[in-house]
Structure 1
Amino acid sequence: MLIKFCDCYIRISSRWNSKQFFFIMCGLLVVDSVSSQSLGGITAIRDTSYATNSAYEKTKVDYPYIKIVKEFRFESVKEKRNVTYCKVGDRKLKLDVFYNIEKEKPLKTAIIIIHGGGWRSGSRTQHYPLAQKLAHLGYVCFTPEYRLSTEALFPAAIYDVKSAIRWVRKNASKYTIDANRITILGFSAGGEMASFMGTTGNMPLFEGTNCTTDIQSYVNAVVDIDGTLSFVHPDGREGDDSKRISAGTHWFGYSKKENPKLWEAASPLSYVSAKTPPTLFINSAVPWMHAGREDYIKVLTENQIYSEVHTFEGAPHSFCLFDPWFDPTVNYINDFLKTIFN
């Protein structure tokens, strides 16, 4: 059966389960009601409100001992910056590559790092230190940009990250990557998207029609750093527009009240299944930043899928950008990937 979504016709497989079809139909309803969708958040002006320095200034008030993790200069790590991985119209989407020239493993594990910032702000440059440190350990790391809600609404960012995954898989031999060891890692909004990638791999509705569409988008491992698993879970707080328009409302073009089914359809928890890859959760002490995590893990456990949870007690949301949490975060990631990929 063919349905229309975002000006594309999508073939729905009879093998999809009822839950997947239900959310696809929600997507159809969104398209059909696009006249009421708010485009006011598309300003074409980059939102710089979330950056490492601004997060530091805010966080150090309560954590005066923290330090920003600066970029590393490892002789073993080479970098290629501003590589075009996809072109959407005239828009070139860029990523950066970090790889180790001294590690002699025949095939390496890839890590695609998705930045946070409420789907509206933030920058891939914030995770250069993480990419450099992981590359130093022998991983091949990629930091893609994606279209933020100042430029395009959901699911554009999803399409972009899927394109980045497909680009990495297509270029696996070039960077001596094992195409069956591709990890998606994200922080905050990027963590939500990382889990979404893990639960919707190869799902036509969320593939888009741009770039390397002949390559599969599934990932083999997920690292979610303080990213929500559900936009509608009772433990979450995303969608409170009482003081200002929330990040989610900007991203979807609808408030949660106006279109709750879209908010549910955009939640990783809606798709977690027996096909979801092993997942590592690294969390702060902010409970609503991992809304839905226990329900998500329950599904993984029922399907005998490996998962780990590590929580930094007392830590702020932006912990992974700062010492003293940066090195333990790297160690958790490294240990997890060693465990699942031997």
Structure 2
Amino acid sequence: MVLGASTLAAQAQPTLAPRDTSFTVASALRKARKTHPTITLARPTVPTTIQARQNLTYCTVGGRALQLDIFYPKAKRPAGYPAVLLIHGGGWSSGDRSHHVPIAQQLAARGYVTVTADYRLSPEARYPAAVTDLKAAVRWLRAQDGTYPIDTTRIAVWGFSAGGQLAALLGTTNGDAQLEGEACHTSRSSRVQAIIDVDGTLAFIHPESGEGDDSKGLSAATRWFGASKTENLALWHQAGALNHVSDQTPPILFLNSVLDRMHAGRDDMTKKLDAFGIYHETHTFARAPHTFPLFHPWFEPTLTYTAAFLAKVFPPRP
């Protein structure tokens, strides 16, 4: 079943609801320390080689100003720098763009323009609002080519947990008009050239998926979609990146914890990528909790794998 634009627009209508603050870095640290008592919050020194602008509005939808923070090298480069859009997690209902400022700053010091962006969460707007918001953020990046040192031909998307699911979906639906949205910089492309999925599901309808169990209350995914699997199976299928892999899918890096359900569909997706000859990498952190990229000792290898992958798919230019 293919969903029409009117159906998707109806799903995206904002609702009045208080902000969900259930997922924070502090709460994630408390939970992770129950099984990993020696871990610490990753707050590396801010590099002196970068500059930043914060609280920039990249799109206004229905009176809602969506904002981002941008970090980039002070050094000039005629060709500009590849860009990376970082997407926070929080079960599509909670979380904050500040969660990944540390890795955004460190990547900027390695020669990237990085952005941490807001998107509408499920208490405010259901699927596909988050997707169309983030595609607008990619278009905003391309519209800034005269303001920030961005190589607009090389944009990657990096996401953790729900953000990883969104990153994979953005990259596998390059050019999909159904998920493009109609707001902000629509003359620009929302295509991305690389994906980094950090423990984000690739398929909602899959034997490995833990999403959609409403037996003890509405699951995070059901709240996001506004319908259970049985009520709107097509919608749940549409949101799975596994179902959109094609010869146009960009290279992808999978970074994973030991929780298999958090990357449901990954192995099936790598088989599809192999069939199309698309480059991919997978790295799993032994004994790591789901929230591993936020904490030492996993922050540094997460950064290292990310930077190495980006250097491979976006080789340096003069």
Output the TM-score relative to the length of structure 2: 0.94
Name the counterpart of 1:45.
18
CA gap of 1:190–1:160, structure 2 versus 1, over 3 A, is same
What is the CA deviation profile of residues 159-213 of structure 1, one whole-angstrom value per residue up to 9, with x for unaligned ones?
1000000000111342221111100000000000000011111211001110011
CA distance in 2, matches of 1:57, 1:217: 37
Which residue among 73, 79, 84 is the counterpart of 1:111?
84
Q: Indicate conservation of the 8 Å contact 1:30/1:262, yes or no.
A: no
1:160-239 to structure 2, matched below 5 A, reads 160-239=133-212
Which residue among 21, 28, 32 is the counterpart of 2:4?
28
Name the counterpart of 1:6.
none
Q: What is the one-letter code of the residue matched to 2:210?
A: R
Q: Indicate conservation of the 8 Å contact 2:43/2:102, yes or no.
A: yes
Secondary structure of 1:83's match? Answer: strand
1:326-337 to structure 2, matched below 5 A, reads 326-337=299-310
Secondary structure of 1:193's match? Answer: helix
CA distance in 1, matches of 2:6, 2:222: 14
CA distance in 1, matches of 2:5, 2:154: 36
Name the counterpart of 1:291.
264
Secondary structure of 2:4's match? Answer: helix
CA distance in 2, matches of 1:179, 1:31: 32
CA distance in 1, matches of 2:72, 2:59: 21
Q: What is the one-letter code of the residue matched to 2:314?
A: F
Stretches (4+) displaced over 4 A = none
Residue 241 of structure 2 corresponds to residue 265 of structure 1: no
Please state how far the C-alpha of 1:306 moved relative to its aligned partner. 0.3
- State the identity %: 47
Please state how far the C-alpha of 1:76 moved relative to its aligned partner. 1.3
CA distance in 2, matches of 1:312, 1:44: 37
Q: What is the one-letter code of the residue matched to 2:82?
A: T
Structure 2 unpaired stretches of 5+: none
Secondary structure of 2:66's match? Answer: strand
Q: What is the one-letter code of the residue matched to 1:168?
A: L
Structure 1 unpaired stretches of 5+: 1-21
Please state how far the C-alpha of 1:73 moved relative to its aligned partner. 2.4
Name the counterpart of 1:15.
none
Please state how far the C-alpha of 1:217 moved relative to its aligned partner. 0.7
Output the TM-score relative to the length of structure 1: 0.88
Which residue among 75, 82, 93 is the counterpart of 2:55?
82
Secondary structure of 1:277's match? Answer: coil
Name the counterpart of 2:213.
240
1:75-154 to structure 2, matched below 5 A, reads 75-102=48-75, 104=77, 106-154=79-127
What is the CA deviation profile of residues 217-276 of structure 1, one whole-angstrom value per residue up to 9, with x for unaligned ones?
110000000000000011010111111211100000001122222111111111111000
CA gap of 1:198–1:29, structure 2 versus 1, over 3 A, is closer
Please state how far the C-alpha of 1:30 moved relative to its aligned partner. 8.7
Secondary structure of 1:111's match? Answer: strand
CA distance in 2, matches of 1:71, 1:122: 20
Q: What is the one-letter code of the residue matched to 2:81?
A: K
Q: Indicate conservation of the 8 Å contact 2:208/2:261, yes or no.
A: yes
Q: Indicate conservation of the 8 Å contact 2:68/2:117, yes or no.
A: yes
CA distance in 2, matches of 1:78, 1:336: 23
Please state how far the C-alpha of 1:77 moved relative to its aligned partner. 1.6
Count of paired positions: 314
